[in-house]
Structure 1
Amino acid sequence: MTSNPNPPINEQTVLITGAGRGLGAAIAEAFAREGATVAINYRASRKGADNLATRLGALTQAFQADVRKAEEVDRLVAEVTKSIGRPTTIVHNALADFTFNGDARAKLDTLSWDEVAAHLDTAVKGALNLIRAARPAMAAAGFGRIITIGTNLFQNPVVPYHDYTAAKAALLSLTRTAAAELGPAGITVNMVSGGLLRTTDASAATPEAVFDLIGSSTPLRRVTTPQEVADAVLFFASPWARAVTGQNLVVDGGLVFN
């Protein structure tokens, strides 16, 4: 990494969790487009991650790890550091197995705690594991960017994704408390929250009528794309956001005013 206290994206090494497909892949593509060195983390989507890394070029490499397990995250950060450089920026996008179809989600009368805990483990425990693993080197360098991926659903809970929404709300709380603690070390922590995206693997099960309804409800009259959310993630990693921390940027075409 450069000695620049606020390095541009093309001088950063970016680790993106859950980047083998969907929004994570779009985020990897955005950073690669801007010249960053990119580590694509995946849990089970090996083929997709390897293909994406090959397509994005020599500065991108795929790494397997389950973010729910601290020892695997420690290994992940060590392997990334050895192979392509110390992560200067981490984007925590990993998602527990989930399908965005409100008709298929459990209502409160059938929702189990295990379903909630599965999302908490990936979203919140995963973030904690990543922060613990990356913090020492970031603090030593006096620079770090941690970006979490949230949702607009805890402001506009129009579908019964109780487990997913609760976990993302808890992740926002951790984002803000981490920002307060890590700021003196030169580390910013922010969240980007999308809405329904057209289209990812997870949202492919969403009925077309729901896409149309949400699109017509936004000031922009369309559903946001993964690429548009990815571009907002770039902002928090860039020098333009050097004085921004603890914030939640909602990227959903104006459906929710934050």
Structure 2
Amino acid sequence: MRIAMTGSKNNPGPTGKALGLLKEVIALHGKPFHPETISKKTGVPVANLYRYLNSFLEARLLIHPARGEYLPHPSFLSLLSTLTSKEVLDRVIRPKLERLVRILPTTLHFGVLESEMVTYLIKVSPKGQMLFTKENMQLEAYCSSIGKVLLAAMQDADIKIYLEGDSFPALTRYTITDPERIKAEILKTRQRGYGIDDREIHEDLFCLAVPVVSTLGETIGAISAASNLGDLLAKDIDLTLKELRAVAKNVGSVF
């Protein structure tokens, strides 16, 4: 059965606008809001605003404890808490990386940026390849391929704050540690659309990473391919990037 879809990403239909309204109201954490402001942000006409809100109240998605105050209904929150965002990402991405590893004989990762560190949520390796990385392990962002991609997706002001923060210790003799050079590397990563770790984290490791971009244009993470220096990855960068980008695009289309 085909389901007719109305609207688009830039011009959502009534259902999309209603869900956008629900999302915006929940994000307010109970703070009072001005109807015209929410209407402009979500595209929901003021005349329909409270009709939608009443529907959410009846469906036990929201509660209305005081004038101008809306909060998520506890039953709605308990439903959402049955599955974490990391579990959702794992269910979507892991099968795709398990298929990709049959094409690229390299270790594949999916990582996100958390507290200025890269968290490796998923790791898939071909038989016989042993890398030191582990799932849920954290590594520095400034010298990893995934980290460079995720830093490149940040606003320039946020990159400036990051570079003015902590020190950048050398993990190998190839690690870039000067803030100005790190900035240049981040901007280069943004321009070319992929990140490279050439022995910066480990002296015998070469990694490539590409961003995973959602349908709304948000970078939700990055996928990398890593191998020991001198293996296939270092020799066939174009093929690796092509396969990584195809998977990243496929994943991004889900979100």
Q: Same fold (TM over 0.5)?
A: no
The structure with the largest strand share of the pair is: 2
Bigger RCO of structures 1 and 2 (CA < 8 A, at least 6 apart): 1
- TM value normalised by structure 1: 0.29
Structure with bigger gyration radius:
2
